[in-house]
Amino acid sequence: MGLGPQLGVSARNRMTWRDKVAQISWPMIFLIGCIASIGFAMLYSAAHLSADPWMDRQAARFAVGLAMMFAVAMVDLRMLMRLVYPLYFVSVLLLVWVDFAGEIGMGAQRWIDLGVVQLQPSEIMKITLVLTLARYFHGLSYEDVGRPLSLVVPTVLVLLPAALVLKQPDLGTAGMLMMVAAAMFVVVGVRWWKFALVLAMGMGVAYYAWNSPVILHDYQKARIMTFMDPESDLQGTGYHITQSKIALGSGGVWGKGFGLGTQSHLDFLPERQTDFIFTMYAEEFGMVGGLVLLGLFVLLVAYGVVIAVRCKSQFGRLLAYGLSFNLFCYFFINTAMVMGLIPVVGVPLPLISYGGTVMMTVMIGFGLVLSVNIHRDQKIGRRLGNEDA
Amino acid sequence: MRKLPNRTQSRVFNRRAALMGLGQAGLTLALAGRLYYLQVLQADKYKLLADENRINLRLLPPSRGLIYDRFGLPLADNYPNYRAMLVAEQTEDLARTLADFAEIVPITERERAKIMKELSRNRPFTPIPVKEDLDWEQVSRVEINLPDLPGISIEVDQKRVYPFGGIAAHLLGYVSAPNEKDIEGDKDPLLSLPGIRIGKNGLERQYESPLRGQAGQSELEVNSVGRVIRELARDEGTPGKDLVTSLDIGLQQFVQQRLSAEFSGAAVIMDIYNGDILAMASTPTYDPSAFYRGLSPAEWQQLTSDEYHPLTNKAIAGQFAPGSTFKIATTIAAQQVGVTPAFNVFCPGYYTLGNMRFHCWKKEGHGHVDMPGAIQHSCDVFFYELARTIGIDAIAVAAKELGLGDVAGLDLPGEKPGVIPNRAWKKAALGQTWHPGETLINAIGQGFVLATPLQLCVMTARVANGGYAVKPHLFKANEPPKADGPSPYPKLNLQQSWFDVVKDGMDRVCNNQRGTAYASRITIPGMEMAGKTGSAQVRRITMAERATGVRKNEDVPWRQRDHALFVAFAPVHEPRYACAVVIEHGGGGARYAGPICRDMLIETQRRDPARRNPNNEGGRREMP
């Protein structure tokens, strides 16, 4: 996978711009370009074959995103590590702010209006949390990880933003934060029994809560049941998921053709330019198109994992892995949700769904993965600055 | 020394990342499997559902068949109905558009309220009728101002119009919106269309199915809120078939107007050979167009509470004691059981049966009368004796042969059967045995006997055509048989000569100086008619009144006056037309019904609709 020539130790730690550019992983950028292009095409179709109002703006964001990706890719991992904790602090502050002063969007407080741009702090947190956990675990040895006490801090680091996001309420993002964090806990070597314990405790609490009339009212239970089985509610969410399945199924093997999806173009499909864009794509391009897109995502995730595996530093490894797993969670939750496999939670399809913050954070994430690849041979001490580690 | 744990870290990382990768691959396979399930295994089901989503079938009402008279004049027509429609979403200021429109075409407060209600009930892209039935000037003024009336458009549909108004109202019937019962009994989806009208009475109801036609269908692609995106397919349906009736609307007009001088009555004119009803009128009449636009409760109240029953077609639903016109049936009955025309009775002005005395209408009596003479003079005593001789059952048999006592089978709803009594009937209907005196009364068309004007006309036609079982109908006979050709109807089980006796008597009624209707005779050569008068008594005349002199009809209240009846055919020697006139509580038949019948038969023969070739009149469309 042509990751460039081997460099000497000193050169590894002090790379020139030329060295860095030579290490940029072009196949990965090609994959990103392919997926984004599919996104543009679908936004063009969603607007009834018009660039306005979605495709042109999305393309502009992608261009900005590309620039940011390249810029981030150049950033030295050590410099990045120094920024992690302040970044985490700012992200949490933004989440607190949005909980109290955010705009209501989609029935939940998710947005901060900065005048020029609207910011979705929960999306930013997806990157920040991966950075933070990578930074924290970088400082632990395998033996440290084995000590339960050393897991207290990262658990708090995860639960705090997750709780804030849950309060918005944005179950999808909160779930994703927990899943990505859990994946990172797995790969740093947290013992399996600890996961089993947490899982058992969680189920116990859930069981207790479900059967206790004090904690959950009947109407709340009913809402949870609807959430778990949306098709029982044909007027609300059930209508959306039913229409989504009709769109998918009626697409058949080869699809109805570009711009010819009846379910999407006649407005039966909700949110066709955002959360349900995969449905529209699979309606117009069929199962074949759907599998191609899933394949592209799988390749992109696998590429990130390979970069992680090849990275010499624990920080870079965890960063690339966490971000790749984040991408996996994105496309899996989104597609599984529009196919009716899991409850509908507001998770967009990265690079394809219309939306500014997600595009930016995802592109920055790719930039970070690229940076890990470029700086894969850098040695970083447990305590920052100790380059001999 | 720190490299070891670092290597352990990467080893653990690699192992666990691989494990996770397996899990991720499994999940991704689940996604692919789900796509396969939805898009291959279930594809047909979802394709169907997608089409159900997007395709909306809209019914297109067929244009209703027209109804013509025998010469091709439209009796029920479809006129364009220009309507102003409003699409709420096409205007920014709804109130302003409505106000501007109201300056061109005034809108009442009630109409405005209805518009507002419709607007709130429908989606903003649904056209709402603002004003119906615009005239040409209003249409052009609206069209010119369309740029200043955003959201307004002019649409055309059809309205049912009866150009002759009340002239043939009872025959044509009317159309109006179907009620719940109509919809329940008729599964045609057309009935659910707003604005649809169906035949509720008369020919409109009788021929509802062919007149209605088959609904067309427009296959529309709609979006999730029902907005029409485009039309995918269109089937115009089948327009209703036109109906050509046997009516001569010119004659009908004359008959209706001739009757309109009376409070209440009916008249029927028919072709004695092919059964064509040429005119059939009932007075008073009503305007059928009122039913199309919908009657106000007050109008409905007025129509239903009118003591002269304008809504009833008395020609087929009015059952009257036929009075002396029934003597035609009694005469045929007598000959059927073997009584000869020479049968002779002396009339002293009354007739005694047991201890009962039955009066002749002529107090002084008629002296010796034979069969034709009895018809000529309408001698009651002759028929009392005849009836006593042959009995009620024989009379009933002949009367039924002549078309009385059962519906004539006219193609019009609401026909009444009348009553022809016999012993069995009385036993069944009243549970009583027959009284001999009742035979006498019923033989002269009083008592239990009831007949509709149509039945009397059919009876007259069967006499005039020499005993063919002609049946009346309002659809036009395709090939009008020539008067001298064979009748399309079977011969009755009655002999020609018996009818000749009756016809002779009826000739003498009109054309013999001593006939009861000599004053009403037709004097135009070749058009002379033969007829029979009838005055059906509706009140009991007491002994005391008889002693002091029976009060004249003019001296008693309307409801107590006799029904005036007259049946006739013409021309007397080569008959073609039969006519029956009943004036409810009109007084004496000779004096009141006779002249009306005479005028009608003159007009009929003048127009001679049976012999005029309808194809020369042009403009007619055939009902196959």
Per-residue pLDDT at B331? 96
Measure Cα distances from B39 to A334, B386, B531 in Å.
18, 93, 86
As given in the structure block, the two tokens for residue B176 are 């109006």
Q: How confident is the model at residue A236 (pLDDT cuts 50, 70, 90)?
A: low
Q: Is the Cα dihedral A195, A196, A201, A205 positive or negative?
A: positive
- CB-based contact A72:A371 (threshold 8 Å): yes
Q: How confident is the model at residue B621 (pLDDT cuts 50, 70, 90)?
A: very low
Q: Which residues on A lie below 8 Å from B49 (Cβ)? A: 246, 249-250
Q: Is A339 on the interface with B (CB under 8 A)?
A: yes
Per-residue pLDDT at A102? 61
Q: Is A317 on the interface with B (CB under 8 A)?
A: yes
Per-residue pLDDT at A297? 97
Q: Is A250 on the interface with B (CB under 8 A)?
A: yes
A256: nearest CA in chain B?
B47
Selection from A228, A237, A130, A207 nearest residue A176 by Cα: A130
pLDDT tens, position by position, B424-473: 999 999 999 999 999 999 999 999 999 999 999 999 999 999 999 999 99
Per-residue pLDDT at A382? 81
A45 occurs within a structural domain:
yes
Q: How confident is the model at residue B561 (pLDDT cuts 50, 70, 90)?
A: confident
CA A387 to chain CA mean position, Å: 31
Selection from A335, A345, A332 nearest residue A230 by Cα: A345
Per-residue pLDDT at A203? 93
Q: Which residues on B lie below 8 Å from A327 (Cβ)? A: none
- CB-based contact B368:B342 (threshold 8 Å): no
In DSSP terms, B359 is beta-bridged to B350
Q: Which residues on B lie below 8 Å from A308 (Cβ)? A: 13, 17
- Measured in degrees and rounded to the nearest 5, phi and psi for residue B60 equal -110, 120
Sequential DSSP letters for B27-64: HHHHHHHHHHIIIIISHHHHHHHHHHHHEEEEEEPPPP
For residue A353, which amino acid is it? S
A218: helix, coil or strand?
helix
For an interface test with B, the pick among A9, A133, A142 (most B C-beta atoms closer than 10 Å) comes out as A142
Contact between chains at A287 and B36 (C-beta distance less than 8 A): yes
User: What span, in angstroms and rounded, lies between the C-alpha atoms of A249 and B34?
Assistant: 10
User: What span, in angstroms and rounded, lies between the C-alpha atoms of B139 and B155?
Assistant: 10
The more confident residue out of B125 and B62 is B62
Measure Cα distances from B226 to A181, A244, B46, B147, B221 in Å.
46, 18, 20, 27, 9
Q: Is the pLDDT of residue B393 over 80?
A: yes
- CB-based contact B489:B470 (threshold 8 Å): yes
Q: How far is A299 from chain B (nearest CA, A)?
A: 11
Q: How confident is the model at residue B236 (pLDDT cuts 50, 70, 90)?
A: confident
pTM of the model: 0.70
Per-residue pLDDT at B343? 92
ipTM score of complex: 0.91
- CB-based contact B242:B270 (threshold 8 Å): no
Q: Is the pLDDT of residue A11 over 70?
A: no
Active site residue B282: no
**Residues of chain A numbered 263-282 and touching chain B (CB < 8 Å):** 263, 265-268, 282
Q: Is the pLDDT of residue A330 over 90?
A: yes
Catalytic residue chosen out of the listed positions B176, B246, B264, B324: B324
User: What span, in angstroms and rounded, lies between the C-alpha atoms of B489 and B509?
Assistant: 28
The β-bridge relationship of strands B174-176 and B152-161 is unpaired
A117 occurs within a structural domain:
yes
Q: For chain A, how many structural domains are there in total?
A: 1
As given in the structure block, the two tokens for residue A274 are 């955002």
Contact between chains at B39 and A251 (C-beta distance less than 8 A): yes
Q: Which residues on B lie below 8 Å from A341 (Cβ)? A: 30-31, 34
Contact between chains at B50 and A287 (C-beta distance less than 8 A): no
Sequential DSSP letters for B200-252: EEHHHHHTHHHHH-B-EEEEEEE-TT--EEEEEEEE--BPPPPEEBS--HHHH
B1: nearest CA in chain A?
A389
B80: helix, coil or strand?
strand
In DSSP terms, B57 is beta-bridged to B219
Per-residue pLDDT at A1? 41
Write the CB contacts of A149 (distance below 8 Å, at least 6 apart in sequence): none
- CB-based contact B534:B489 (threshold 8 Å): no
- CB-based contact A32:A374 (threshold 8 Å): no
Most confident of A164-168, A237-241, B177-181, B533-537: B533-537
Contact between chains at B20 and A298 (C-beta distance less than 8 A): no
- CB-based contact B315:B579 (threshold 8 Å): no
Name the maximum alpha-carbon separation found in chain A: 66
Contact between chains at B39 and A246 (C-beta distance less than 8 A): no
Report the run of H or E that residue B94 belongs to, with start and end: helix B94-104
pLDDT tens, position by position, B482-503: 555 567 888 998 999 999 999 9
Measure Cα distances from A47 to A266, B220, B266 in Å.
11, 22, 72
Q: Which residues on A lie below 8 Å from B25 (Cβ)? A: 298
For residue B155, which amino acid is it? E
Of A209-223, B155-169, B273-287, which range is least confident?
A209-223
Question: How many Cβ contacts (< 8 angstroms) between chains A and B?
Answer: 141
Per-residue pLDDT at B618? 42
Sequential DSSP letters for A91-119: HHHHHHHHHHHPEEETTEEEEEE-SS-EE
Contact between chains at B24 and A301 (C-beta distance less than 8 A): yes
For an interface test with B, the pick among A9, A187, A188, A263 (most B C-beta atoms closer than 10 Å) comes out as A187
pLDDT tens, position by position, B567-604: 999 999 999 999 999 999 888 777 889 999 999 999 99
Burial of B32 (0-12, 13-18, 19+ CB in 10 A): middle
Q: Which residues on B lie below 8 Å from A263 (Cβ)? A: 50, 53-54
Q: Which residues on B lie below 8 Å from A314 (Cβ)? A: 6, 9-10, 13
Task: Name the CA radius of gyration of chain A, rounded.
Answer: 22
- Measured in degrees and rounded to the nearest 5, phi and psi for residue B440 equal -65, -50
B160: helix, coil or strand?
strand
Selection from B305, B315, B304 nearest residue B265 by Cα: B315
Q: How confident is the model at residue B550 (pLDDT cuts 50, 70, 90)?
A: confident
Per-residue pLDDT at B4? 46
Q: Which residues on B lie below 8 Å from A286 (Cβ)? A: 39
Contact between chains at A253 and B39 (C-beta distance less than 8 A): yes
As given in the structure block, the two tokens for residue B380 are 């009651």
Q: Is B7 on the interface with A (CB under 8 A)?
A: no
For an interface test with A, the pick among B2, B4, B8, B9 (most A C-beta atoms closer than 10 Å) comes out as B9
How many other CB atoms are there within 10 angstroms of residue B601's CB atom? 24
Q: How confident is the model at residue A104 (pLDDT cuts 50, 70, 90)?
A: low
Contact between chains at B35 and A282 (C-beta distance less than 8 A): yes
- CB-based contact A354:A58 (threshold 8 Å): yes
The beta-strand segments (E) located in chain A are: 103-105, 108-113, 118-119
Per-residue pLDDT at A242? 87
Per-residue pLDDT at B617? 45
Q: Is A330 on the interface with B (CB under 8 A)?
A: no
Of A54-63, B22-31, B296-305, B596-605, which range is least confident?
B296-305
- Measured in degrees and rounded to the nearest 5, phi and psi for residue B266 equal -150, 155
A287 occurs within a structural domain:
no
Q: Is A332 on the interface with B (CB under 8 A)?
A: yes
Domains assigned to chain B: 47-80+158-245 (3.90.1310.10), 249-284+313-475+492-611 (3.40.710.10)
Report the run of H or E that residue B423 belongs to, with start and end: helix B423-430
Per-residue pLDDT at B391? 94
Q: Is A261 on the interface with B (CB under 8 A)?
A: no
A286: nearest CA in chain B?
B39
Q: Is the pLDDT of residue A70 over 70?
A: yes
Question: Residue B621: CA atoms inside 13 Å, Cβ hemisphere, count?
Answer: 11
Residue where the block lists tokens 């005993």: B467
Q: Is the pLDDT of residue B480 over 60?
A: no
Across the interface, of B8, B43, B224, the residue whose CB is closest to A267 is B224
Contact between chains at B31 and A263 (C-beta distance less than 8 A): no
User: What span, in angstroms and rounded, lies between the C-alpha atoms of B221 and B233?
Assistant: 9
B536: helix, coil or strand?
strand
- Backbone φ/ψ region at B509: left (φ over 0), alpha (ψ -120 to 50), beta: alpha
- CB-based contact B614:B70 (threshold 8 Å): yes
Residues in chain B: 624
Q: Which residues on A lie below 8 Å from B40 (Cβ)? A: 252-253, 287
Q: Which residues on A lie below 8 Å from B8 (Cβ)? A: 142
Helices (H), strands (E): how many in chain B? 23, 19
The secondary structure of residue A337, as a DSSP letter, is H
Per-residue pLDDT at A3? 46
As given in the structure block, the two tokens for residue B532 are 């029979």
pLDDT tens, position by position, A111-166: 666 655 567 888 899 999 999 999 999 999 888 888 889 999 999 999 999 999 88
A272 occurs within a structural domain:
no
B229: nearest CA in chain A?
A266
- Measured in degrees and rounded to the nearest 5, phi and psi for residue A212 equal -100, 120
How many other CB atoms are there within 10 angstroms of residue A106's CB atom? 13
Per-residue pLDDT at A296? 97
A345 occurs within a structural domain:
yes
Contact between chains at B35 and A339 (C-beta distance less than 8 A): yes
Per-residue pLDDT at B560? 83
User: What span, in angstroms and rounded, lies between the C-alpha atoms of A134 and A140?
Assistant: 10
As given in the structure block, the two tokens for residue B437 are 């005196």
Structural domain boundaries, residue A184: 9-191+297-374
Burial of B93 (0-12, 13-18, 19+ CB in 10 A): exposed
Q: Is B363 on the interface with A (CB under 8 A)?
A: no
Contact between chains at B30 and A308 (C-beta distance less than 8 A): no
Report the run of H or E that residue B580 belongs to, with start and end: strand B577-583
Residues in chain A: 389
In DSSP terms, B175 is beta-bridged to B199
- CB-based contact B288:B173 (threshold 8 Å): yes
For an interface test with B, the pick among A246, A265, A317 (most B C-beta atoms closer than 10 Å) comes out as A246
Across the interface, of A142, A250, A282, the residue whose CB is closest to B12 is A142
- CB-based contact B302:B284 (threshold 8 Å): no
A224 occurs within a structural domain:
no
Of A156-160, A223-227, B205-209, B452-456, which range is least confident?
A223-227
Q: Is the pLDDT of residue A106 over 60?
A: no
- CB-based contact B569:B509 (threshold 8 Å): no
Mean pLDDT of B389-399: 95
B593: helix, coil or strand?
helix
- Backbone φ/ψ region at B449: left (φ over 0), alpha (ψ -120 to 50), beta: beta
B12: nearest CA in chain A?
A189
Q: What's the mean per-residue pLDDT of chain B?
A: 88
Q: What's the mean per-residue pLDDT of chain A?
A: 87
Q: Is A322 on the interface with B (CB under 8 A)?
A: no
**Residues of chain A numbered 154-213 and touching chain B (CB < 8 Å):** 183, 186-189
Q: How far is A380 from chain B (nearest CA, A)?
A: 11
Per-residue pLDDT at A34? 97
Q: How confident is the model at residue A2 (pLDDT cuts 50, 70, 90)?
A: very low
Selection from A18, A69, A68, A73 nearest residue A375 by Cα: A73
Q: Is B125 on the interface with A (CB under 8 A)?
A: no
